[in-house]
């Protein structure tokens, strides 16, 4: 697939997965917090999360050939983490549907996988120059903050879902809004643009006209 089409696909998957995970999680939480919620609320919430699972795995698959020239093992690690993240979301959803019981702090598992994968992605984007340097650095900072927040939540210091804990989600959330918009409307940077700030290195190539 040409990199321009890959960029658009990945951008759409990023946006849709963010929206569906937020909506699905809200519905799941509503089901468990309100004793009289209908089963339909849980079903819709879980199916939205299952779409998220397919989307995040698809992001890893679509980005693998783009990232591989800039780090074979890291790009494979990113792909693996996204697939595992998707499988975890599906498994958690299946647990909800079969047990009708809450899985406390399940979002921390998802955030850990997403944050670790995001750090790898941001590092590869920074190394390759496929997107602007400032955006890659925002991703590094954002996913590092997310993982720090996960640790703080696990230790009982904060709650990532509310109050001051939500601050840990802001930088990564901003990255996951700006990156897909840039990919959809501009695509990956061209070889000339990648070479300009970092030197003309072999392997940094794109057939995208965007930048």
Cα separation, 3 vs 204, whole angstroms: 13
Instruction: Tell me what the pLDDT averaged over the chain comes to.
Output: 89
Choose the weakest-confidence range: 2-6, 113-117, 123-127, 200-204.
200-204
Cα separation, 52 vs 67, whole angstroms: 22
Contact 39, 63 (CB under 8 A): no
pLDDT in tens, 75-104: 999 999 999 999 999 999 999 999 988 887
pLDDT at 1: 74
Band of residue 200 on the pLDDT scale cut at 50, 70, 90: very low
pLDDT at 34: 76
Whole-angstrom CA distances from 54 to 29, 86, 124 are 21, 6, 22
pLDDT at 205: 39
Contact 5, 13 (CB under 8 A): no
Question: Shortest CA distance to 49 belongs to which of 28, 69, 30, 76?
Answer: 28
Cα separation, 46 vs 93, whole angstroms: 5
pLDDT at 2: 84
- The alpha carbon torsion through 189, 122, 47, 61 (nearest 10 deg) reads 60
pLDDT at 203: 44
Cα separation, 161 vs 201, whole angstroms: 43
């Amino acid at each position: 697939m040409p990199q321009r089409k890959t960029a658009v696909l990945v951008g759409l998957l990023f946006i849709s997965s963010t929206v569906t995970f937020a909506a699905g999680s809200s519905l799941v939480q509503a089901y468990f917090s309100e004793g009289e919620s209908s089963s339909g609320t849980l079903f819709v919430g879980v199916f939205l999360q299952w779409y998220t699972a397919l989307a995040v795995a698809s992001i890893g698959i679509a980005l693998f050939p783009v990232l591989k020239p800039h780090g074979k093992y890291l790009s494979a690690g990113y792909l693996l983490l996204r697939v595992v993240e998707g499988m975890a979301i599906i498994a958690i959803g299946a647990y909800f549907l079969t047990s009708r019981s809450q899985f406390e702090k399940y979002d921390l598992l998802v955030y850990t996988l997403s944050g670790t994968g995001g750090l790898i992605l941001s590092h590869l984007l920074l190394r390759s120059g496929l997107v602007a340097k400032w955006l890659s650095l925002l991703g590094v900072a954002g996913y590092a903050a997310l993982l720090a927040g996960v640790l703080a939540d696990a230790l009982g210091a904060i709650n990532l879902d509310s109050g001051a804990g939500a601050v840990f989600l802001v930088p990564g959330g901003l990255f996951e809004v700006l990156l897909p918009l840039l990919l959809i409307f501009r695509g990956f940077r061209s070889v000339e643009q990648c070479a300009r700030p970092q030197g003309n290195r072999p392997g940094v190539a794109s057939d995208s006209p965007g930048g």
